Amino acid sequence: MKQRKFINNTKRSFVVIGIITFIFAVLFFRLGFLMIVRKNFLVAKAESQSSYQQTIMPKRGSILDTNGQQLAVSGDVYKLSLDLFEVHNYADNKSRRTGDKPQEIVKDIADKLADILGKDKKEVEDFMEKKNDQGVYPRGLALARKIEKGQIDKIKELRDKNSYNFVIIENDTNRYYPNNNFLAQVLGGVDVDGKGLFGLEQYYNKDLTGVPGISISQVDRKSRDLPYSNQIYTQPVNGKDLTTTIDSRIQYICEKIAEKTMETTKAKGVNILVTDPKTGEILAMVNKPDFNPNDPKKGITDNNALFELWRNKAVNDVYEPGSTFKLVTMSAALEENLTYRDDKFYDKGYVIVDGVPINCWKEGGHGAENLVDLLKNSCNPGFIELGKRLGKEKMNSYIEKFGFGKQTGIDFPGEATGIVKSTSTMSNVDLATISFGQTDAASMVQLIGAINAVFNNGVYTTPHFMKNLSQVDTDGNRKVVATYEEKNSRQVISQKTANTVAGFLEETVSKGSGKLAYIEGYGVAGKTGTAQKANIGGKGYGKDVVASFIGGAPYNNPKISLLVTIDTPEGIEHMGGEIAAPVAHDLFDQIFRAIGYDPTKK
């Protein structure tokens, strides 16, 4: 009997030992799995639960005019995020103490935050119940951005009073445009995260943005900072400031004159571009209609309409320039010695090219003319003759030299390349119409670049906005870190040809079709244009036109050049010489007064 009992006890011992051994083996392998295979994951998870990492956004650099006036600045605001996991954890703990339902506690928190933020209570209540793809309440979900200091102070008071340790307050920045619609399409805009969407904000986004900083601190289970814990802190590097070539005095004048022109002509749009012809610096650029960059979507729900309004038409759009292009044809013919000042022409009112009649704008023609008369009278048949003498290859060669059919290199996103008929596909009729500004299409910046070459002794300069980039160091001292560098400078025509054409353009204003831009003693030189707008699909032309004027002053030592375009003006008067030249007159007069320059004094 004792023997049997001993055997049973021995078996029982082996079973117990076996079970214990099995349990220890499972624990050993589980521990090995956690310590070796899952080590990195668990360490990272532990660190994430015991530390809080905060990104410190840098301050976006300002955009300034050439004299340091602020055009776009960033203000300090705040972002409010919530740890929704801790929100519901807080509600559960409080519920056990007070007996209130957790849902009611969460609702109360939501309503208090909504009152301070001015948000819809239902919207905030719904926010509190958001879960991620795994069905878990997320930790650190943004509830509101761009919060002003007054509101954030109230939220801090609410947090401290009620021990709302799930409330996360971070610094944020907001972009302000202190002059509202002023220079709207040029400056552009940013998204909610401060990233440039269009305009100079987009082109110089990398320079303006800066480098974010970081703060890592140790926290307890309620996400509160632990006392005496080591904090890792990296200072953010603020973005660089962009100083532009824009002169706000000139820009203001152009804005007001463009608004007035929109009213008087009832046009679809008015665009004005003013530059320094010797450097290519853009002193002013206006696109009407415009918008307020502080609220760029106001009143517009259609995306196509929105993007159309945001477009900088002086850079992003092209049109057939019409007679303003004639300065290129004349420059090319003079440079190739194919004509001269007293060259004789006769305009009978039309020219037949390969059986196609091409009319002069003046019924019956201008009769006998010399070379200067062709510009003064804007005579299409005369320029058809110059184009014929040049031929297709030489014509396209000079079109390319003057910067058409390719990007100028302006520091602005989305620059249009224009349309230039290739030599191989150009017919004789094409050559004829190209010579006086139809068939090919160009942007405003391409045209201003071309006339600047004439005013700058035949040397091309790139139209541009950047003057320099600067940054304030830790001692508060401003340091210029980059300046604009001209990369496309080239001799397009000789100085002799350039000066001759500039003189012809002065006579065009003082004695010819541009006379409404004339100001005694100013030496205004320029050319008007009335370009028919091609029908949609490119087949033929409609009744709508773009009236324009391009020029500079004084012609023998120009301080400014400008281009005015008036898209689809209404009324009987629609020619460039009738409605664009007077605009140019007012621009020259007011701009020179504003900058304190008197062309009549030597």
Output b/e per residue, 523-537; b: 16+ Cβ within 10 A. Answer: bbbbbbbbbbebeee
What is the H or E stretch that residue 196 is in?
strand 196-198
Tell me the Cα Rg of the chain. Answer: 36
- Provide the 3-class DSSP secondary structure of residue 553: strand
Q: Residue 585 in contact with residue 299, Cβ under 8 Å?
A: no
CA distance 173 to 442: 39
Gap between the Cα atoms of 12 and 21, Å rounded: 14
Alpha-carbon gap, residue 341 to 504, rounded angstroms: 9
Q: How far apart are CA 249 and CA 254, in angstroms?
A: 9
- Cα distance between residue 137 and residue 144, in whole Å: 18
CB atoms within 10 A of CB 146: 14
Strand partners, 550: 527, 563
Concatenating the DSSP letter of every residue in 277-333 gives TTT-BEEEEEEES---TTSTTTT---HHHHHHHH--HHHH--B--GGGGHHHHHHHH
Q: Which tokens hold the place of 451? A: 């006339």
Place of tokens 């996991």: 85
**What are the C-alpha distances in Å from 562 to residues 204, 276, 465?**
25, 9, 15
In this structure, the chain runs to a length of 602
Starting from the edge strand earliest in sequence, which strands make up the sheet with 232-234, in order? 51-56, 213-218, 232-234
Pair 128, 109: CB distance under 8 Å: yes
Beta-bridge partner residues of 142: 81
Q: Is the separation of the CB atoms in 210 and 237 below 8 Å?
A: yes
Residue 344: CB atoms within 10 A of its CB come to 9
- CB of 62 closer than 8 Å to CB of 221: no
Q: Which amino acid is at 162?
A: N
Q: How far apart are CA 195 and CA 208, in angstroms?
A: 9
Q: What whole-number distance in Å separates Cα of residue 118 and Cα of residue 138?
A: 23
Closest CA to 247 of 598, 529, 597: 597
Catalytic residues: 323
* Of 349, 450, 336, nearest in space to 386 by CA: 336
Residue 581's beta-bridge partner residues? none
- Helix axis angle for 326-335 and 444-455, nearest 10°, is 40
